[in-house]
Structure 1
Amino acid sequence: MNAIELLTQDHKNMRALLEELAGTTTRGVKKRKELVEKIETSLRAHNTIEEEIFYPAFKKAGDGKDDAKMYFEALEEHRAAGDLVLPDLLKTDVDSEKFSGRAKVLKELFEHHADEEEKEMFKRAKALLSKKTLEELGEQMAQRKVELKKRQEAA
């Protein structure tokens, strides 16, 4: 699976988890806890493989200010979702309305980020990177994801 296919599949899975979380109520305590754990694991693994493997390859292949802007914007969106909203969500009582609001904000942030990547960055990456390179990146990212999930399960 090439890098773009892998990341697009991750986006699809995250959208489904976030949609399911958004559909829960304050009474769905057990379901919310399960979903937020899955979301944390998936989001952290996804962000890590993008930041360690895909984004650097994209930035290196880029040939102008627009590519650099896309790269830095993507990093900032990761920071907003992964370092600000997600930690707040994890600290929020799952049976509160505050949790519902934070879950919705995380969902909206993620959807905006994924849409931009799919419409702009991935399209540009296909022009900048060869099919062979995208395949190699996909393999590296898949291996790294397995490592990250094993590490999280062991923790």
Structure 2
Amino acid sequence: MTPPDLGAGPQALNEIRDWLSSRPGDRAVLATGCFDLLHAGHLCFLEQARELGDLLVVGVNSDLSVRHLKGPSRPIVGEHERATLVGALKCVDLVFLYDEPTADRQIRFLRPQVFATARASISAYPSEVASAAAVAAQVHAVERIAPYSTTRLVDTLRAHP
């Protein structure tokens, strides 16, 4: 079974779960994030996540959840464009959007073998770690690649009108 067509935009979780279950010998990795103003730090994170398994599924926070997490002036780039950009990366197999501030429901539904997250997110979002543990997913913390930061980029751009 081939992956659902990314050209149509983000995938439904049911399609992703069906595709993953059609590949029982493959190790599935789930990573999540806002990915606003996609930069080299995001690419490094996703490439490291992909190295942890055979398939990389990425959850992208919707505009609603980014506003909840980052404030009313974010995101800079809309959810469908962000999902399309993330999905275009060679290391990414499938992408989905989600509205919640955490990916607990998605982790429990997709049941990946690995949940890759930023080291800082381990303490910031303990419920995701608990959700991964509940489905026996290994949690892998990826170090932030300094000096890359979307917030820093946004602040720099706003300081130079």
Structure with greater strand percent: 2
Give the TM-score, by structure 1 length: 0.30
Greater RCO (Cα-Cα under 8 Å, separation 6 or more): 1
Give the greater-gyration-radius structure (CA): 1
Give the TM-score, by structure 2 length: 0.29
Structure with greater helix percent: 1
